[in-house]
Amino acid sequence: DGGITQSPKYLFRKEGQNVTLSCEQNLNHDAMYWYRQDPGQGLRLIYYSQIVNDFQKGDIAEGYSVSREKKESFPLTVTSAQKNPTAFYLCASRASGNYNEQFFGPGTRLTVL
């Protein structure tokens, strides 16, 4: 099956620990994205990558880091510098071209205790 996978579905961490969220896609998409969603809110863009070994900050990049060493993978690290890390994190990908929609993964719900 083609698609985007995020693991795990639920993640718990202690305050002060870094945590890395996984995002993998087998759609051969060039662009990948990370969004954050808080309860009752819309999505906010954290980071995006249009091509391997390149990525750009979104609207709320502080306290987060990413890497894009492979086309299929775009992991997100939530660092201890992120003041309110508890949220629902969504990964998306998009094929090259101007008219293509973003496909989203199932999300990871991170809770920092």
Does 18 participate in binding other proteins (rule CB under 8 A)?
no
Task: Using CB under 8 A, pick the residue from 18, 20, 26, 41 that binds other proteins.
Answer: 41
x/- mask, other proteins, residues 48-77, rule CB under 8 A, reads x-x-----x-xx------------------
Does 43 participate in binding other proteins (rule CB under 8 A)?
yes
- Count CB neighbours of 65 within 10 A: 17
Exposed (0-12), middle (13-18) or buried (19+): which is 79, by Cβ within 10 Å? middle
C-beta separation of 106 from 7 below 8 A: no
Q: In the complex, what is the shortest distance from the CB of residue 103 to other proteins, in angstroms, rounded to a whole number? A: 7
